[in-house]
Amino acid sequence: MFSVEERDGLRDRLIQFAEADDAVTGAALTGSQSTGHSDRWSDTDLVLAVRGELAVPLSRWTQWLHGELDALHHWDLPADRRIIRVFLLPGWLEVDLTFCPEEEFGPRGPQWRTIFGEERTLAPFPQADRDTLIGLAWHHALHAHICIRRGREWQAEYWISTLRDHVIALACLRLGYAAVHAKGAHLLPAIMTAPLEATLVRSVAESELRRALKSAVTVLTDELEQTDSRLAARLIPMLAELGGESQE
């Protein structure tokens, strides 16, 4: 694994390359390094404001990271007009580079530190939508139940595990923690996280899948009662059917 010195040296090289690039009019750190809360394992997140089309500097940076920094792989995460290109370097160094138009260069959340360039005032990123998370949760519970009936064990395991993810997101959203990618999960109290252990699928045997689904439905109904009691009153009786042991 990479050392802190290697990571920080890479960050400095990225910033120097940005300052020398005529197409780049601004740069900012995001993620934990922007707030001084990085640790031994933190990666590097850099936002670049680009003058004009993104394609040319995107290509130039990609060639530089592969040719000069020995990048092993990259992939893109589209985000509206921005492009987030994620690079893997030797030693498991991860670099997330966001290329954005000049007019979209600015903080949308607390994790931001401008290095150079003019910030714009932008609306914050929206939080996860509660109704969408609830909808995905009951959808996944239903399809886990159906997959067990159909004998599709691994697909059932997928739905159960993803259902658990949405319950965690709902709890984080309700308590004001970061809900995306379970970033606030470590802040949840033990009284909420302890029951989640029973939702872990230990094997793809039908009996185990049914047990894990029943546990997942239980934590979902508990969360629904705290998130939206009126909706919970409508959904819980139906969810109880999915968490039962019936083989019909």
Task: Write out the DSSP string of 172-227.
Answer: HHHHTS--GGGTTGGGS-HHHHGGGGGGS-----HHHHHHHHHHHHHHHHHHHHHH
State residue 248's pLDDT score: 44
pLDDT tens, N- to C-terminus, the chain (248 residues): 999 999 999 999 999 999 999 999 999 999 899 988 889 999 999 999 999 999 999 999 999 999 999 999 999 987 888 999 999 999 999 999 999 999 999 999 889 999 999 999 998 888 889 999 999 999 999 999 999 999 999 999 999 999 999 999 999 999 999 998 899 999 999 999 999 999 999 999 999 999 999 999 999 999 999 999 999 999 999 999 987 654 44
* Whole-number Å distance between alpha carbons of 90 and 79: 26
How many alpha carbons fall within 13 Å on the CB side of residue 231? 13
State residue 80's pLDDT score: 84
CB 28 within 8 A of CB 113: yes
SS3 call for 124 = coil
State residue 79's pLDDT score: 83
How many alpha carbons fall within 13 Å on the CB side of residue 134? 21
Q: How many CB atoms lie within 10 A of CB 237?
A: 10
State residue 91's pLDDT score: 96
Tell which residue, 152, 133, 137, 134, has the closest CA to residue 199: 137
pTM of the model: 0.85
Q: What token pair was written down for 64?
A: 């530089």
State residue 243's pLDDT score: 74
State residue 221's pLDDT score: 95
State residue 246's pLDDT score: 43
State residue 197's pLDDT score: 97
CB 213 within 8 A of CB 241: no
